[in-house]
Homo-oligomer: A and B are copies of this chain.
Amino acid sequence: MACKNFWWLGLVGGLSLAGMAVAAEPPPQPIPVRQAEINDSFWSPRLQAMRERAIPHGWQYMQWELRALRKAGGQTVTGDLNGTWGEANLHKFLETVAYSLAQHPDPELERQVDGIVDLLKAAQQPDGYLHAYITNNRKPQWDPAFLDGSHDGYVLGHMIEAAIEYHAATGKRAFLDIACRAADQACNHFLGPKGKPGFCGHAELEMALVELHRVTGQARYLELARAFVEWRGRGKVTPAGPTPRAYFQDAEPVRQQRTLEGHAVRALFFATGVADLALVTGEADYRLAANRFWDSTTLRRMTITGSVGPRKEHEAFGEDYELPNNGYYESCAACGLADFALRMFCLERTARNADVLERVLYNAVLHGMALSGTNSYYQNPLTDRNNARYNSWVCCPPNLSRTILQAGRYAVATTARELYVNLFIGGRYECQIGKTTVTLAVATRYPWEGRIQFTVQTKQPATFALNLRRPEWCGAGEVRVNGQPVDSSTLTDSGYWSLPRQWRDGDQVELNLPMPVERWAAHPNAGDCRGKVAVQRGPLVYAFEGLDNAGRPAPTLGADPAFGVEHRPDLLGGITVIKGVAADGQPFVAIPFYALANRQKSTQEVWVNQSGMTPDDRWWEGNLYRRWQLGK
């Protein structure tokens, strides 16, 4: 039998079948933040706003936390102290600062953090425990009867992540040592001679411990992460009053959970922890569970803007297809989905996972943070009326800033023989591919234009596959290597143009993604979107703000809205607007969803009526959203 007929066997050993390759080699690693030097007309202003506005603005909200730390460290303080979960905000803020330092060294800022590290060290208890609120209020550590309220694991998890990133940014070990001691206390508390099963009701520690295991090589951190996941659904903790156990992802053991349920942020952090365990342990059951959670979330419970968690009660996921336009959709849940998507890409290596990452990042996450970098939204509905950004400091602002500052990490990942480009962000990415260091320079005006130019910079020829994501929104697309178009066989089942070759210094790759304005429809089960379309161009979902449309909340679109685009450098930091003519003959202007609510109060709508739209009874084949065209 000739080999040609066993072509699919070739794929097994090759690059194109994602799942099969997983077994064969270690999963992709996202690039460290410090190795991504972003220089991009779209992202650079956003990173700058985090650095120059969000961080200086954020300090004022750290005072409760710092006061509490001082008190826990034995100082006498006056004034209000933080609440139980507030201490996580300090750590999310420090993680934000760490990313900023990794990209833009700033000795004065670093000195400020070092001062806080000193406070943390002083506040750390002799046994290693470090949660000032609990210490100051003489509450029990890791109180199992206070599953929801204590947030021990949530705060510790964020501390670990901040410490890891501060170490990565500065090379200083003090904060990391503090975090390790606190993590050791947790390990001892749960896994030690007097320990007993339990877990924190707000997931977060799981993924932080897996990361700490990666950084330190210590098995105990992985074991505690695994235990926190395994102990769920076994009645190992006392439920906090009438709250349903599904709120904590505790209704069933992880292998029996078929959907991702409960408080959306907790649920996504939990799912991310499960995916992390799958990545590190290679265990098939964790991979299966992570995929169940992923499908449940992204195929049936995610808005077109990448938001999740529509219910105000319990800040929770709803049922399948429960996607009200006026839903809750907390910003932190969007941040959580971005991190979950990154893990799922590493696990499955399919463009589909990074498609969600792009959707949530360019829409829900950026919408959560005002252009100014100082205001933010807690909720991100798809229809709104006259709501201004609020200026209080709950959990979302430092979560949004730490997510946005990780843009470079989300963009590029490597294995020993592959370089994946998932997001198209201009800059220089220093990539470790096996034993070779290669720099990928990226130039683009994405998301406004679909042309992306890549230049390989390498001291010596390097053999690897450059895998460029084909975005889900892109029907076509052209790739050229040193000016020569590549053929369609380079596009893999996994949704990447895969270019394996020996790359030489100066090699050029150009990706051209046509970027028409398109209308998207939602699955007929999503009742709130029935008869409506959303307008999308490239990765950006657009929305209608009354301000741009003489106060009219939203147009009804006709068969051909005569869509046109215009780049407006003057407007909202520079955006491309979509113009057209509504069914009633009135002109309309749409702006990116992320740019809403940055001027005065107004109406806001994503889904708009489409005349002539009929129920689509074709098979949706597992899609939640898809392109729509009249009569097709």
Selecting from A251-259, A535-543, A556-564, A583-591, the interface stretch reads A251-259
Interface residue from B20, B316, B317, B525 paired with A319 (Cβ < 8 Å): B525
Specify which chain B residues have a CB less than 8 angstroms from the CB of A251 in the assembled complex: 619, 621
A246 part of interface (Cβ distance < 8 Å): yes
Which chain B residues border A525 with CB–CB below 8 Å?
Answer: 319-321, 525
Contact (Cβ within 8 A) B284 A19: yes
A553 in contact (CB, < 8 A): no
Q: Is A46 on the interface with B (CB-CB < 8 A)?
A: no
Given known A-B contacts A261-B622, A621-B259, A622-B257, A320 and B295 have beta carbons under 8 A apart: no
Q: At the interface, yes or no: A292 with Cβ under 8 Å from chain B?
A: yes
Q: CB-nearest residue of chain B relative to A246? A: B619
Asked whether B319 lies within 8 Å of A524 as measured between CB atoms, the reply is yes
A517 close to B (CB within 8 Å): no
Max chain B Cβ within 10 angstroms of own Cβ: one of A227, A231, A319: A319
Q: Do B262 and A19 touch across chains, with their CB atoms under 8 A apart? A: no
Kindly list chain B residues whose C-beta atoms are within 8 Å of the C-beta of A256: 350, 352, 493
Q: How far is the CA of A299 from the CA of B299 in the complex (A)?
A: 14
Min CB gap A541→B, angstroms: 22
Contacts of A285 in B (CB 8 A): 17, 19-20, 22
* A493 CA / B232 CA spacing, docked (Å): 12
A523 at the B interface (CB under 8 A): yes
| Contact status of A8 and B321, CB under 8 A, knowing A255-B493, A619-B261 | no
Give which listed residue, B7, B288, B524, contacts A291 with CB less than 8 A. Answer: B288
In Å, the complex CA distance between A169 and B321 comes to: 50
Known: A191-B6, A231-B8, A524-B319. A18 touches B622 (CB 8 A): no
A594 to chain B, nearest CB (A): 28
The distance in angstroms between the C-alpha atoms of A482 and B258, with both chains bound, is: 37
Residue-wise, chain A 217-238 has the 8 Å CB interface mask toward B (1 for contact) of 0000001001100110100000
Whether A5 contacts B316 by the Cβ 8 Å rule is: no
Least CB separation from A291: chain B residue: B288
Report if A190-B316 is in contact (Cβ < 8 Å); known contacts: A253-B493, A261-B619, A299-B258: no
Instruction: Tell me the dominant secondary structure on chain A's binding face.
Output: loop
Q: Are A252 and B621 in contact (CB under 8 A)?
A: yes
Does A620 make an interface contact (CB < 8 A)? yes
| Chain A residue total in the interface (Cβ 8 A) | 65
Give the segment of A61-69, A132-140, A193-201 that binds chain B: A193-201
Question: Could you tell me the distance between the alpha carbons of A226 and B9 in the complex, rounded to whole angstroms?
Answer: 10
Report how far A414 CA is from B226 CA in the complex, Å. Answer: 30
For residue A23, CB closer than 8 A to chain B, the reply is yes
A293 to chain B, nearest CB (A): 11
List residues of A (608-624) whose CB comes within 8 Å of B's CBs: 618-622
Say if the beta carbon of A2 comes within 8 Å of chain B: yes
**16 A-B interface contacts by CB (under 8 A):** A1-B188, A1-B195, A2-B192, A5-B191, A5-B192, A6-B191, A19-B288, A244-B619, A246-B619, A246-B621, A251-B619, A257-B621, A258-B295, A288-B288, A300-B320, A319-B620
Q: Which residues of A contact B (CB under 8 A)?
A: 1-2, 5-8, 17-20, 22-23, 188, 190-193, 195-197, 223, 226-227, 230-231, 233, 244, 246, 251-253, 255-259, 261-262, 283-285, 287-288, 291-292, 295-296, 299-300, 316-317, 319-321, 350, 352, 493, 523-525, 618-622
Q: Told that A18-B255, A20-B285 touch, could you supply 13 new A-B pairs with CB distance under 8 A?
A: A1-B193, A1-B195, A5-B195, A8-B227, A19-B288, A20-B283, A244-B619, A246-B619, A252-B621, A257-B622, A291-B292, A319-B524, A320-B525
